[in-house]
Amino acid sequence: MMAAEQKKRDDSVVTIACLQMQPAFGAVEGNIAHSLDLIDQAAAQGAGLVVLPELANTGYVFRSRSEAFALAEEIPSGRSVSAWAERAARHRLHLVAGICERSAAKLYNSAVLIGPDGYIGTFRKVHLWNEENLYFEPGDLGFPVFGTAIGRIGIGICYDIWFPETFRLCALQGADIVCVPTNWVPIAGQQPGAQAMANILAMAAAHSNSLYVACADRVGTERGQPFEGQSLIVSYTGWPVAGPASRENEEIVTATVALGDARRKRNWNDFNQVMRDRRTDVYDEMLGSGLPPGWY
């Protein structure tokens, strides 16, 4: 890429929209239709990158593996990805959405990345939460970072953000932003009305890795399980630039940012830059992942 083209991409400004919605369990057609309506609304607000919640097309609280299998879809040929791809093409935007994936006889809690020209890639949730272990296989694709026209996009799903390796491996591969489809639930010890623990983790991860983080949560109660809402978008500085959203209501949380700032403005002072200051003489360069050294 020519230097002028690189600078143009790094300087590009994009509006991020996290779509906080309430899927109805098992109502795939209705959930897809509702998500498309929200995507249309986000596009009308200028969104170029849209993030939907975890398992946005199916709902979350499965009661059996057979129930999950019946609702799962192959990627990218399933009806959900096809519908989302059509809308991404119509609005010329990028989209990250949580989906129940079927691959042969295996199920994954996954997210798809779709661009204006169609399907780009899949992330499979690496760290499974609670009874997800009964239905899903742990993700086997690692933490890919996808190069796109708007920037380098990494993905994590819900419980993945409890693990600092999620963000560090994305950062070491040159990510500008990590998109987080999620279904946050109350955490033990959380005081009524307190900020979600996940918000604090997202802010800390953004700050300590110099990354934007965009978290799209769901709301409502499903089969007795309440969800936290509080979707937010965090700057590479660690401070929110949009949200947190409410706990109860569907909302579109938006922020307009220059994604290239995540890498261009990493220096905190004359001496410190968070990625450069890593002590790789003390710990492994790429956390034992076997990935090649990153872009920092």
The answer to whether residue 106 is catalytic is no
Q: Which of 18, 158, 170, 215 is catalytic?
A: 158
HSE-up (13 A, CA, CB side) for residue 134: 10
The answer to whether residue 67 is catalytic is no
Distance in angstroms (rounded) separating the CA atoms of residues 81 and 84: 5
Sheet containing 118-124: which strands, arranged edge to edge? Answer: 118-124, 106-115, 94-103, 49-51, 13-20, 251-258
Distances from the Cα of 86 to the Cαs of 42, 80, 94, 166, 269, in angstroms?
A: 15, 10, 11, 30, 45
Q: Which of 125, 179, 228, 251 is catalytic?
A: 125
Instruction: With beta carbons less than 8 A apart as the criterion, state whether 33 and 69 touch.
Output: no
Tokens of 122: 């899949």
The answer to whether residue 265 is catalytic is no
Distance in angstroms (rounded) separating the CA atoms of residues 134 and 291: 30
> Could you give the residue numbers annotated as active site?
54, 125, 158
